[in-house]
Structure 1
C-alpha cells in the first residue's frame, strides 16, 4: 500500500513538473495583456459611476426615481447627489498636484464589436408623457400629476434678463471630459471610454458653440471649462457645485446656469447615434433634464426651473422640430437648487460624432438666445 501511495505521489509531481513549461508559456502570453485589462477595468469602474444610460425602447420610469436603465447589466448607475446638502462646502482639493494631467483623445482607433446605430427619437407616447401647449414634450418620471406639470409649463420663468452685456448666463460642465465619436463609422472603439481632457474634443467644445450664439445675441456669458470629473469621477457634482457657487457670488447678475453634458445611450450592446437632418447637416438630438424634489433634495424652487425648461423646450422645438427628446422631469438634483434657471442639457450621446454635436450646440445656442431675449426687461 505504501509503495502504491509513493508511486501515486511520484506520478502526481511528475505531471506538475511536466506542465510547468506550458503554464509559464501561458503566463508570458498574458503579461502584455495585463495593462490593457487594467485600463479596461478602470474604465468600467468609471462607467459604473455615471448617470443612467437610456435605450431606444424607453421602459417605464422606475420607482427608484432614476428614470430608466439600459438593457445591459453593466448599465451606468446614477451618481448620488442627495449628499450635497449635508456635506461641507469648503473649497475642495481638486487634484493633489493642482493639475489633473492629460487624458488624450485617441489618434489610433481599435474598432470593437459595438455597432453604432444611427437613429432618431420620434414623438413619445404613454401615460407619463405631457404634451406642451406650443410644441415639445415632457417625460414625467415623478409622482407629480401631469395636469399640474402642464399648468406649470404655462407660467413664465421666474427671472428676466437685462441683455446689457453683463454676465447673465453661466455655461459649465460637471462631467467636463465627456467626448464623442471622431466621425461617422460602423463600429465604436473597444479601448476608448469616450472621455478626454482636450476641450476642443469634449463637451467644452459644445459649450463654446452655445456661448458664441448667446454672445452674438448680445447676452453676457461666462463659460467655465474647469475639469471636475478627472482623474476622479465620483464627486464631480460636489466639485462643480463649489465652482458654480463661487462664480455666482462673483457675478450676481447671472440668472441661468447650464450644465452641458452628453448622454451615454446603449441598446442591445449597440451605441445609438440620435441624429436629425438640419439644413442638410447631421445634427445630434438633445435632452433637457429638470430635477424634481422628492422631499430630501432641498430644492424648494424646482418648479421654477421646470418653467424655464418648458420655455426652452418649446422654443427649441419651434425653431427646429425633432431636435429634442422630451424634457426629463425626474428626482434628480444636479445642483439645480442654486438658481431658478439651472438646467442640465444632454447634447447627443457618445455614439454621436464631434461634427454632429458641434452643429447641435450651435442650433441649440441660437434657440436659447431667442428664448432669453423674450425674457428681456423692457427699458
Structure 2
C-alpha cells in the first residue's frame, strides 16, 4: 500500500511542478527566457498571485502592483483602466524610447571670416598683374607649392611636401611675434588719401605703412585665439641698410623676454615695375581687390629646412583657400634673421603699386591661412 501511495504523491508533485513551469514560462518566446522566468519565480510568488486573482499574469500586473491597488478601493475599481497602461509600458521596445544624443565632437577653433565691408577699394590707377607659375621646370614643386630656389641649397621636394614642420604653439604666454624690418614701406594711395612720404613709396605714417598691415594680421590671428606681440618699431627709419640688424636686436629681446614665442613674422611689401619705372599692382585671380603675397625664405643658416617646411605647409593651406593668393616661394641664400627660431617667415604683402585696401585684404587672407596651419598641427 505504501508504494502505490508514494507513487501517487510523486505523480502529484510532478504534475504540480509541470503546471508551475507552464504558468511561469507561458509568456516566454525562447528557451533562454523560459529558463530565466523559472529561475526568477518562486512558489511563494505564485501563491501570492493566485490569492490576488492573477495566477497567469494575464493583466500584466505584478504581485506588488496588485497589492498596491488593493490598498485603495478607488484604484482597485479602476483596475481595468490601469491594466492597459501597464501593458503598454511593459511591452515598449527599446526602439520606442528616445535614443540618447550622440556625444558631441570636441570643440574646435571656429574659422574667422574675412570681412571687406570696412574698406572702400578706391581705384589708384595702377595697372595690375597676377603672377602664376607656368613652367614647373623652373621651380621645385613641393605638393601644391612652387619654390623659386636661387640659393646654393639642394631642395628635396618630397621631403618638403609632407606638410610637417617643427614649430609648435605653446599653451601659455605670447605665441607669435610680428616685426617689420622695412616698416616704412608703403603703397600707392588713391587720390585724396595720400600720405606724407618719407621716401619713394615710403612713409612713417603707421596708418599707411607696414605697421598697419601688421595690425591687420594681428587682428586675424587674435580672432583665432592666438596670442600676438606686435613690434611697431620703424627699424628702417634711421638707416635702410641697417634695418635687418635693428630688427634682429628686437627679435632677440622679445625671444629672451617671452620664451613662449614660437613664430616670428617679418612683414614687407614687394615692388614690381617695368623698365621705365612704372609700378604694377599684384592681385589674385579670384578677387581683384586682394593683393598677392609671397613668402621669402632665407637658406643661409643651418636651420633653414625647418623654416622652409613651415613655409611650404602655409603655402599649401593658402593655395587651398585662394589658389592665386600666393606667388611662388622665393628661397634665397640670405638669412633675413630667420636663424633666430624655427617658425620664422618673411612675408611680402602686395607690392608698391597696390592700394592699401588691397594689401589689407591680402594680409587678412594670409593671416587666416597661417593661423589655420599652425593651429592644425597644435591640435594633433
The TM tier, using the shorter chain, reads: 0.5 to 0.7
1:120–1:275: 8 Å Cα contact kept in structure 2? yes
1:303 aligns with 2:305: yes
Deviations along 1:62-95, one digit per CA (max 9) or x if unpaired, are: xxxxxxxxxxxxxxxxxxxxxxxxxxxxxxxxxx
Alignment of 1:297-376 (within 5 A): 299-376=301-378
Alignment of 1:176-255 (within 5 A): 176-183=183-190, 193-255=200-262
Structure 1 pair 126/132, CA: closer, same or farther in 2 (3 Å)? Answer: closer
1:139 aligns with 2:145: no
Question: Partner of 2:58 in structure 1?
Answer: none
How far the C-alpha of 1:117 sits from its partner, in A, is 2.5
Structure 1 pair 253/273, CA: closer, same or farther in 2 (3 Å)? Answer: same
Normalised TM-score (structure 1): 0.63
The CA distance in 2 between the partners of 1:223 and 1:125, in whole Å, is: 38
Normalised TM-score (structure 2): 0.63
Question: Partner of 1:50 in structure 2?
Answer: none
1:161 aligns with 2:192: no
The CA distance in 2 between the partners of 1:238 and 1:317, in whole Å, is: 33
1:117 aligns with 2:119: no
1:256 aligns with 2:263: yes
What secondary structure, in the 3-state scheme, does the structure 1 residue paired with 2:260 have?
A: coil
Larger helix share, 1 or 2: 2
How far the C-alpha of 1:192 sits from its partner, in A, is 5.8
What secondary structure, in the 3-state scheme, does the structure 1 residue paired with 2:349 have?
A: strand
Structure 2: which 5+ runs fail to align?
A: 1-123
How far the C-alpha of 1:272 sits from its partner, in A, is 1.3
The CA distance in 2 between the partners of 1:325 and 1:196, in whole Å, is: 25
How far the C-alpha of 1:160 sits from its partner, in A, is 1.6
How far the C-alpha of 1:273 sits from its partner, in A, is 0.7
Ranges of 4+ aligned residues in structure 1 off by more than 3 Å? 143-146, 189-192
Structure 1 pair 231/144, CA: closer, same or farther in 2 (3 Å)? Answer: closer
How far the C-alpha of 1:128 sits from its partner, in A, is 3.4
Deviations along 1:135-162, one digit per CA (max 9) or x if unpaired, are: 231112134334x144233251112213
1:178–1:203: 8 Å Cα contact kept in structure 2? yes
Alignment of 1:42-61 (within 5 A): none
How far the C-alpha of 1:283 sits from its partner, in A, is 0.6
Q: What's the C-alpha RMSD, in Å, of the aligned pairs?
A: 2.4
The CA distance in 2 between the partners of 1:190 and 1:167, in whole Å, is: 33
Alignment of 1:19-98 (within 5 A): none
The CA distance in 1 between the partners of 2:344 and 2:365, in whole Å, is: 20
What secondary structure, in the 3-state scheme, does the structure 1 residue paired with 2:126 have?
A: strand
The CA distance in 1 between the partners of 2:378 and 2:157, in whole Å, is: 25
What secondary structure, in the 3-state scheme, does the structure 2 residue paired with 1:268 have?
A: coil
Higher alpha-carbon Rg: 2
Deviations along 1:240-263, one digit per CA (max 9) or x if unpaired, are: 100110001000001110000001
Greater relative CO, 1 or 2 (CA 8 Å, sep 6+): 1
What secondary structure, in the 3-state scheme, does the structure 2 residue paired with 1:262 have?
A: strand
1:165–1:218: 8 Å Cα contact kept in structure 2? no
What secondary structure, in the 3-state scheme, does the structure 1 residue paired with 2:232 have?
A: coil
The CA distance in 2 between the partners of 1:191 and 1:176, in whole Å, is: 12
The CA distance in 2 between the partners of 1:281 and 1:122, in whole Å, is: 14
